[in-house]
Amino acid sequence: MILHDRPRRALALFAHPDDPEVACAGTLATWTNGGTHAHLVIVASGDKGVGDPSIDGAALANIRRAEAQHASSLLGLESVEYLDFADGEIENTNTFRTQLIEIVRRLRPDVVIAPDPTAVFFGASYVNHHDHRALGWAVLDICGSMAGGARYAPEAGPPHQIQTMLLAGTLEPDTWVDIAGALDAKVGALRCHRSQLGDTGRDDMVPALVEARAAEAGQAAGLRYAEGFRRLSFGA
């Protein structure tokens, strides 16, 4: 199905600083252009996001935070929170779930976007990152029942049951958002992450790659350009 409704409030929860731009920047820009109050939480700092061991992890994390902040401004996001976990150390623990519950109850989104933790194998050469999967399971746990359940983490604020969850990076998309009007914003946001593009000419490839992926997703929905998600709906 094509998701035509624009949420009043949206929350994107992702592991690393460039993850939301890859997964759903077009959707976020489309929504904010229409008046959605959109917020982003980045859980890990990105301190291991380049392979060169001579680069200081704390310095890299600061660079990546600045990149993410710039990208968020291009997407029209209202706020970005950084939880500053070390890369590779996100775990679906009770403490972490309580932290996420507090964020959901404070921001009270209608829609939450997060990674699909069931997407593990992408072809024969890539396994989905541990942090993506651990975060995805934690968000599924809290959005399905805990954030809306008064007996869960009562210290985290008044319960809030989200209406819709969109799982990004899924192998089983069933819902698409038309991003034809936000392709340039997605390209611009991705280009903010200079530390990940390096000096190999990948910056010049970003527009073509974004267009190709958006066209491929759009083809499944009969749209020119789209981002695809697996949708879950919960009671209000």
pLDDT (tens digit per residue) in 150-166: 999 999 999 999 999 99
In a domain, 72, yes or no: yes
In a domain, 226, yes or no: yes
CATH number of the domain to which 29 belongs? 3.40.50.10320
Q: Quick one: what percent of the chain has pLDDT higher than 90?
A: 80
pTM above 0.85, yes or no: yes
Residue 198 has pLDDT above 90, yes or no: no
In a domain, 222, yes or no: yes
Residue 188 has pLDDT above 80, yes or no: yes
Residue 78 has pLDDT above 90, yes or no: yes
Residue 14 has pLDDT above 80, yes or no: yes
Domain range holding 113? 9-233
SS (H, E, C) the chain: CECCCCCCEEEEEECCCCHHHHHHHHHHHHHHHCCCEEEEEEEECCCCCCCCCCCCHHHHHHHHHHHHHHHHHHHCCCEEEEEEECCCCCCCCHHHHHHHHHHHHHHCCCEEEEECCCCCEECCCEECCHHHHHHHHHHHHHHHHHCCCCCCCHHHCCCCCCCEEEEECCCCCCEEEECHHHHHHHHHHHHCCHHHHCCCCHHHHHHHHHHHHHHHHHHHHCCCCEEEEEEEECCC
Q: What is the pLDDT of residue 201?
A: 52
